[in-house]
Amino acid sequence: MKTGTRKTVLLVIGAAMVLTTAGCGGGLLSSGASGAATPSGPVKLGMVVPISGSSAPTGAYMKNGAQLAVDEINKAGGVLKGRKLELMVEDEACDAQQAVASANKVVSAGVVVSVGGYCSGATLPTLPIFQKANIPMIIPAANSQDLVKQGLANVFLINGTGKQQSTTALAFMKKSGFTTVALVDDNTSYSKDITTETQAQIVADGSVKVLLNTSVTAGESDYSAVVRAIMAKNPALVYWTGYYQEGGLIINQLKKAGFTGKVMVADGSVDPSLPKIAGAGAEGVFATMTQTPDTIKGAERWIANYKAAFNADPGPYSTQSYDAVRLAAKAIEDAGSTKGADIIKALEAIDGFSMFSGPLKFTPEHTLSSGGFVILVIKDGKFILNALQP
Amino acid sequence: MSENVDATLAPQRLGPPRSPISRLLESRLIGWVALAAALLAPFVTASPYSLNVMTTAAIFVLLASGLNIVVGYCGLLDLGYIAFMAVGAYTAGIISKSFELPLLFTIPAVLVMTILAGLIIGAPTLRLRSDYLAIVTLGFGEITRITANNLSVTGGPSGIFGIPGLLKIGGLDVENPAVLYYLTVLVVSLFVLASARLGKSRLGRAWRFVREDEDAAEAMGIHTYKVKLLAYIFGAIWGGLGGVLFAAHLSAVSPQSFIFLQSALVLMAVVLGGMGNMRGVVIGALVISLLPELLRDFASNRYLVFGLLLVVVMVFRPQGFWPARGYERERATVDVDPPAVATEQGR
C-alpha cells in the first residue's frame, strides 16, 4: 500500500512534467531556430562587457556610449527603412565562463551584430560562439594580438592592436630620448601582449635598452617587490601595461620609494581614477592611448550630448563603443539585410567611414590600418594630449 | 542499502519518515526523477543560452559531488578544490591541442595527473588538522592558478583556446550543444551515483568516523591517514573529470576561471545543500550555478541579491537545504521506538 501511494505520486509528477513539456515551444523538437531574426521588428545588437567586477566602470562607459549611438540612429529613422536598433547588454565580469554564458545568451536572443568585448581573455572564448552563429563581431576595446591570430572572418577590431600600441610607445621613447626602460605587466592576456610586442620591437630596433621585463599579480595592494626591482635597475622610463587599479598603486609606491624616472601607462590604465589612486606621483605620467573625447578637437558637442543623456562624464571606450554601433548600423544599411555573411562583406568593403579615431578602412586582418594611438600626459590630475607626439 | 551493513556503524534513521512528503523525499526513486527532469529539460527550452547554462550547472554538480566526498563525508575543509579542476582542464586541453586528439582520449592522462595532484597536496598535509589544512589547500589553489598564469605551456594569461571537441564518431557531432549536454548529464549522473554509493560503502563509513572523531577512529583500527588520502584522491578524480567537461564545454581554458571565488562557490554549494547528503549537495549546486543566471535582470546588483538570498537561506536552514539525516539530531530524541528501524531495513 505504502509503495503504491508513492508510485502514484511519482506517476503524477511524471505526467505533469510531460504535459508541461508538450505545452512549451523552443525545445529540441520544435521546428525552427528560436534565435532566428524576424524580418521586421527591431534589429538587435549584442554587447558583452563587464558590468560587475573590477572593470565594471569601463563597462558602464561602453554601454552608455553604445546606447547614445543607438538612440541617435533610432531618432534619425533607424536602419533598413525604419527598423529600430535595440541594444542588449550582458555581463562578462572579465571571466571566460561568464562571457561564454552571456555570448550564448545574446546569440539566443537573435542579435545581428555583436558590438562588445573589453577584456581580451574573456572575449577570446566567445569568438567561436559568434562564429558558429555567423554573427559579425565589431570589438570596440579588446585588442590582444591573440584575437587577430585566430584569423576568423567575422571578427573586426576597431581599437588599435597591441602591436600598433607598442610601435607608438617605442617611437615616443626614441623621440623623447629615453634610453633605458622597464616593462611591467599584470599577466593578463591584454597586458602581456603589449609588453611582449614592445620588447620584441625594442630588441629589433636596438636604440633603447630593456633593463627589466617583469609581471605582477593583479588585484594585490602591496607592490613593493616590483618597486624594489625597478629601483635597483633605475630605468629612465617604466612602461606599465596593465589596468588602472594596479597601475595607480605602482605609480604611488614608486613615488614614495623615491623613483626619479618617468612612468608611462598603456590604454588599460587611462581612466579618470588613475590620478586619484596614484596621488602625488600622477603628475607627468605619460600614456599611450587612442583618442578620447577629451583630446579630440570638436568633440565638445558629443560630450555635452553624452552628459545630457546619462548625467555622467564619458570615459575610456565610450567613443569606440559609440563608433562600433554606428559602424554596425552602417554595415547593416550597406548590406541591405541582417544576414551575417552580407554584413561581413559590407564591413570589409567600408572605406573612409569617419570615426573618432579617424577614417576607417580595415586591413585584410580586420584591424585598423592605422592604430590612431597618441601620447597623453597627466596634468592637474587629468589626462591631456601631450605636446610632443611621436 | 545493502543487507550486510553493520547496523552500529551505518548512518541510522532515528525514526520513520513522518509525512508523505518526507517519505517521498527519502525514496530512492528521487534520483531517477531528477535524472528524468535533466533529460527532459532540453525539450522545454533548447536555445544555445539555456543549453550553455544547463551544461555549466551539470558540471558544477559534478564538482560539488566531488567536494562533498572531501568536505561532506570526510570533514576535511578544502578551500582550493578548483585547483583539481584546473589540473584536469589544462591536462586535457594541452594534450588534445598538441596531439589533435579528441578530449575523450586524454582522460587516462587526466586521471594520472589529478591523482598525482591529489597525492602532492594530500600526502604532506593530511597530518595537519582543520584550520591548518584549510590554509594549505587555499595556498594550493592559488599556486595552481598562478603557475598556470605564468607558464608558457599553459598559454599564460590567455590560456588555451580552440580545444577540439570531446569526441567525433561519424556523423555524431559532440560539439553540438545538445549532444554535449546529454553526454555531460550522463557522465555527471553516473558520478553523482558513484559518490552517493561511495558514501555508504565501508570506506564511506570510515570517512564519517574520521569526520566525527579522528582519534576514536584511529583507536578502532581505521588507518586514518590512508582513508583521508583516499578521500582526497577521489575528490581529485571528480574535479579532474569536471575539468575535462569544462574544457569541452568552453573549448577554452584560462586561469581566470580558477580563482578562489570558484573554490568558495563549490564549497558553498556543498554547505548550502547539506554537507554529506548527496541529494542536498546536488540541489545546492544547482541553486549556486543557476541562481546568478536567473538574477541577470538585476544587472550590476545581481551578486548582491545572490548574497542576500544565500544569507536568508542560511538563517532559516542553518544545516543546509537538505542536511544528512540521522546524525544531526540531538541525543535526547533517540528514544523513538527501535522496531521502526528494523521494519524499514527489513522491508
Count of A-B CB contacts under 8 Å? 137
CA distance linking residue B220 with residue A233, whole number of Å: 62
> Contacts of residue B257 in chain A, CB cutoff 8 Å?
95-97
Nearest CB neighbour to B44, from listed A24, A146, A187:
A24
Judged by CB atoms closer than 8 Å, whether chains meet at A10 and B27 is answered as yes
The answer to whether residue A238 scores a pLDDT higher than 50 is yes
Helix (H) or strand (E) holding A86: strand A85-91
Q: Is A373 helix (H, G, I), strand (E, B) or coil?
A: strand
Is residue A14 in a domain? no
The answer to whether residue A23 scores a pLDDT higher than 60 is no
CA distance linking residue B53 with residue B333, whole number of Å: 43
**Count of domains forming chain A:** 2
Question: Angle at the Cα of A49 (from A366 to B86), degrees rounded to 5?
Answer: 95
Confidence class for position B342, pLDDT limits 50, 70, 90 = very low
C-alpha distance from A34 to closest chain B C-alpha (Å):
7
A378 and A244 part of one domain:
yes
A167 and A156 part of one domain:
no
A232 and A90 part of one domain:
no
Who has greater pLDDT, B8 or A205?
A205
The alpha-carbon radius of gyration of chain A (Å, integer) is 24
For A219, residues 6+ apart whose C-beta sits below 8 A from its C-beta are A54, A245, A246
Judged by CB atoms closer than 8 Å, whether chains meet at B150 and A94 is answered as no
Contact A236, A261 (CB under 8 A): yes
C-alpha distance from A246 to closest chain B C-alpha (Å):
16
A256 and A109 part of one domain:
no
Nearest CB neighbour to A104, from listed B36, B40, B52:
B52
Residue B196 has φ and ψ, to the nearest 5°, of -65, -40
For A246-280, what is each residue's pLDDT tens digit? 999 999 999 999 999 999 999 888 888 899 999 88
Nearest CB neighbour to B23, from listed A6, A125, A187:
A6
A185 and A152 part of one domain:
no
A238 and A379 part of one domain:
yes
Confidence class for position B18, pLDDT limits 50, 70, 90 = low
> Contacts of residue A124 in chain B, CB cutoff 8 Å?
158-159, 161, 252, 254
Is residue A103 in a domain? yes
Lateral strand order in the sheet of A180-185:
A209-215, A180-185, A237-240, A262-265, A286-290, A373-379, A382-385
Is residue A152 in a domain? yes
A65 and A174 part of one domain:
no
Judged by CB atoms closer than 8 Å, whether chains meet at A122 and B256 is answered as yes
Half-sphere exposure of B99 (CA within 13 A, CB side): 13
Q: How many other C-beta atoms lie within 10 A of the C-beta of residue A297?
A: 7
Judged by CB atoms closer than 8 Å, whether chains meet at A27 and B48 is answered as no
Is residue A311 in a domain? yes
A228 and A304 part of one domain:
no
CA distance linking residue A98 with residue A52, whole number of Å: 11
Contact A154, A367 (CB under 8 A): no
Who has greater pLDDT, B225 or A7?
B225
Judged by CB atoms closer than 8 Å, whether chains meet at A6 and B300 is answered as no
Is residue A5 in a domain? no
The answer to whether residue B233 scores a pLDDT higher than 50 is yes
- pLDDT computed for residue A115 by the predictor: 95
Q: Which residue of B has its CA nearest to A5?
A: B20
A124 and A176 part of one domain:
no
- pLDDT computed for residue A8 by the predictor: 53
Judged by CB atoms closer than 8 Å, whether chains meet at B156 and A100 is answered as no
Question: CA nearest A366: which of A189, A49, A154, A120?
Answer: A154
Is residue A89 in a domain? yes
Is residue A235 in a domain? yes
> Contacts of residue A67 in chain B, CB cutoff 8 Å?
none
- Domains delineated in chain B: 20-346 (1.10.3470)
Q: Which residue of B has its CA nearest to A102?
A: B49
For A114-155, what is each residue's pLDDT tens digit? 999 998 888 988 998 999 889 999 999 888 888 888 888 999
A52 and A190 part of one domain:
no
Question: CA nearest B258: which of B56, B80, B18, B76?
Answer: B80
CA distance linking residue A118 with residue A58, whole number of Å: 8
Q: Which of A13, A87, A104 to mutate to test the interface with B (most CBs of B within 10 A)?
A: A104
Domain extent, residue A174, equals 163-293+374-385
The answer to whether residue B132 scores a pLDDT higher than 50 is yes
The answer to whether residue A387 scores a pLDDT higher than 90 is no
Q: Which residue of A has its CA nearest to B176?
A: A132
Judged by CB atoms closer than 8 Å, whether chains meet at A17 and B20 is answered as no
Who has greater pLDDT, A5 or B179?
B179
Mean pLDDT of B82-110: 92
Q: Which residue of A has its CA nearest to B160?
A: A125
The percentage of residues in chain B with a pLDDT greater than 90, rounded to a whole number, is 39
Is residue A22 in a domain? no
A312 and A238 part of one domain:
no
A191 and A172 part of one domain:
yes
- pLDDT computed for residue B1 by the predictor: 42
CA distance linking residue A131 with residue B252, whole number of Å: 15
Residue A56 sits in a domain whose CATH number is 3.40.50.2300
Query: Poorest-confidence range of A68-77, B115-124, B220-229, B335-344?
Result: B335-344
- pLDDT computed for residue A106 by the predictor: 93
